[in-house]
Structure 1
Amino acid sequence: MRLNPFGGSRRTQQADAVVTGAGSGIGRGFAIELGRRGGRVICSDIDAERARETVEAVVAAGGKGFDVVCDVRDLDQVTALADTAEQWFGKPADVMVNNAGIGRGGTVIGETPLDEWHGVLDINLWGVVHGCHVFAPRLRAAGHGAIVNVASAAAFGVAPRMAAYNVSKAGVLALSETLAAELSGTGVVVTALCPTAVKTRILEGVSIGDDTVQLWGDRLLRWTGRPPAAIARTTLDAVDRGELYVVPQLEAKFLWQSKRLLPESYTRAAGLLERLVR
């Protein structure tokens, strides 16, 4: 990693990084931005073709890339991912981006199928748990580096009809905060990303309610959604500064502050607003 003339280290400059869910969306944005910063990037995804496409984009951005197929639900595959990274880099990774995730919603608690709960939690939460479980000890032993966990404003936004997704992202945020406390003073930074709308493919084929709610969801993504590249750039800059929380959009900051200052009023208002929109 390149030394920062102002002290400390530029953790994301010329970093050896691993990105899960790198085949599209925020994950691809992270991989390309890390490549643009001169890094070597393991582009991991459950879809081999998409992972290879991301590697091509990383190389075009000025970095080096290597594609690996990995299902983050499987601890053995995540362990193999870390081992492959060490073999390719010749040392442990400097940066781990736990990004792989899916979006689900549209039904209330009690009507949401339990299979959907398990499917969302297995990827969105357990995938990040596996990444931290495998990579955190290696980074701690190295004495430097960063772990980036992609959560969401859903972690604190409590939007109705999104329970499984909300719970998964709240778990990622709590995991990140706990890991940051445990790694304090070790030289390893933990950063949790909590965006609102990002222009990705995560909601493709996903219903989030009736036609009216779906329409407003689509409009929100079109009007306020930021491109993955901008989100990745903002987050990696925050990693260089050693920041725990990245809440990149104005509406996300508004939700964050409202929930912290008036939690009960905020929760009631979220329910009333959802009924009004419907």
Structure 2
Amino acid sequence: MSSSKLSQASQAVITGAGSGIGRAFALELARRGGRVVCADLNPATAEQTAAQIREHGAEALAVACDVSKLEQVEALAEAADAFFGEAPDLVINNAGVGAGGKRVGETPMEDWHWVMGVNMWGVIHGCHVFAPRLQARGRGGIINVCSTASFAAAPSMGPYNASKAAVLALSETLAAECAGRGVTVTALCPTVVKTNIFANGRIDESVTPLMNRWVALTGVSAEGVAKTTLKALDKGQLYVLPQIDARLIWRAKRYLPAAYARGAGLLSRFTVAS
């Protein structure tokens, strides 16, 4: 399968497929004729996504998977191989959790370990297990769901920022390693998307109203993000910044890094205080 057709009739494995962006990817790929393995920590929501796919006449398998545990990701790969009869040609490392509202030194270490376990180690496990399978086939795609947080470094989001920065660096490294080997790597870096990550995350109550306002003003649908990202994958793009605020932050951070850091800190104090 050529890279220009990765979003068509793919055999895809998606983590965090029980809701949000993961479910949007699963349903969109199924509409395009894909067969999908829907993995999620919650087996009930994974099955709900798989059931919606089957209702539209496509094939899907639900798998319970805690991506923070390597052995469970290895079991996911084995289940996918058995379901497809071969290795998948598209892997979307999407599973993630949110945390924020406390500064470095105030954030409980439990939150650090929880966020890094899912957001960072989950993607590391996914790439470690699946990248060799795709490289052996000589074709395929890997989408790692990063975040604008991977380069924005907003205050009071230390664990989330650090975990997503690691995922972006891993994506860039893997893209270099896969160059010329038929495997496309794409890093998705959105700002806020209308999902349940804030409701299910460990977000301090002091910033919840601000996050809700941001979602209402600039948040886009998970479906739109999925379509934009799959289009970018077909074009072989490494970076996907689906919203204008993500692209503005990207440019500000690149061209005026010191001024950006000071401005982000001052703006954060003003918005939280107000």
Give 1:210 deviation, angstroms.
5.4
Residue equivalent to 1:131: 126
CA contact under 8 A between 1:20 and 1:44: conserved in structure 2? yes
Give 1:159 deviation, angstroms.
0.9
1:246 counterpart letter in structure 2: V
Give 1:57 deviation, angstroms.
1.9
In the TM superposition, what whole-angstrom CA distance separates every residue of 1:163-204 from its partner, at most 9, and x where no partner exists? 000000000000000000001000000000000010001111
CA contact under 8 A between 2:141 and 2:185: conserved in structure 1? yes
Give 1:56 deviation, angstroms.
1.7
The TM-score, its normalising length taken from structure 1, stands at 0.95
Match of 1:223 among 217, 224, 239: 217
**Is it true that 1:14 corresponds to 2:9 in the alignment?**
yes
Q: Where in structure 2 are the equivalents of 1:1-278 lying within 5 Å?
A: 1=1, 9-206=4-201, 208-209=203-204, 211=206, 213-277=207-271, 278=273
Listed as ranges, the gaps of 5+ residues in structure 1 are: none
Counterparts of 1:46 and 1:210, CA distance in 2: 25
Runs of 4+ in 1 over 6 A off after TM superposition: none
Q: Secondary structure at the match of 1:93?
A: coil
CA contact under 8 A between 2:186 and 2:237: conserved in structure 1? yes
2:26 counterpart letter in structure 1: A
**Structure 1's 210 and 179: CA in aligned 2 closer, same or farther, altered over 3 A?**
same
Give 1:60 deviation, angstroms.
3.5
Q: Secondary structure at the match of 1:242?
A: coil
Listed as ranges, the gaps of 5+ residues in structure 2 are: none
Counterparts of 2:227 and 2:213, CA distance in 1: 24
Q: Secondary structure at the match of 1:161?
A: coil
CA contact under 8 A between 1:39 and 1:63: conserved in structure 2? yes
**Structure 1's 155 and 61: CA in aligned 2 closer, same or farther, altered over 3 A?**
farther
Give 1:275 deviation, angstroms.
1.0
Residues paired across the two proteins, number: 272
2:18 counterpart letter in structure 1: G
Give 1:151 deviation, angstroms.
0.4
CA contact under 8 A between 2:147 and 2:191: conserved in structure 1? yes
CA contact under 8 A between 1:22 and 1:100: conserved in structure 2? yes
Give 1:206 deviation, angstroms.
4.3
In the TM superposition, what whole-angstrom CA distance separates every residue of 1:209-253 from its partner, at most 9, and x where no partner exists? 454x33221111112111111100100111111110000000000
Q: Secondary structure at the match of 2:100?
A: coil
Counterparts of 1:181 and 1:122, CA distance in 2: 25
CA contact under 8 A between 2:97 and 2:201: conserved in structure 1? no
Counterparts of 1:70 and 1:49, CA distance in 2: 12
Counterparts of 2:251 and 2:88, CA distance in 1: 34
The TM-score, its normalising length taken from structure 2, stands at 0.96
Give 1:61 deviation, angstroms.
4.2
In the TM superposition, what whole-angstrom CA distance separates every residue of 1:112-145 from its partner, at most 9, and x where no partner exists? 1111101000000000000000000010000000
**Structure 1's 52 and 208: CA in aligned 2 closer, same or farther, altered over 3 A?**
closer
**Percent same amino acid at aligned positions?**
53
Counterparts of 1:119 and 1:264, CA distance in 2: 30
**Structure 1's 205 and 22: CA in aligned 2 closer, same or farther, altered over 3 A?**
closer
RMSD: 1.3
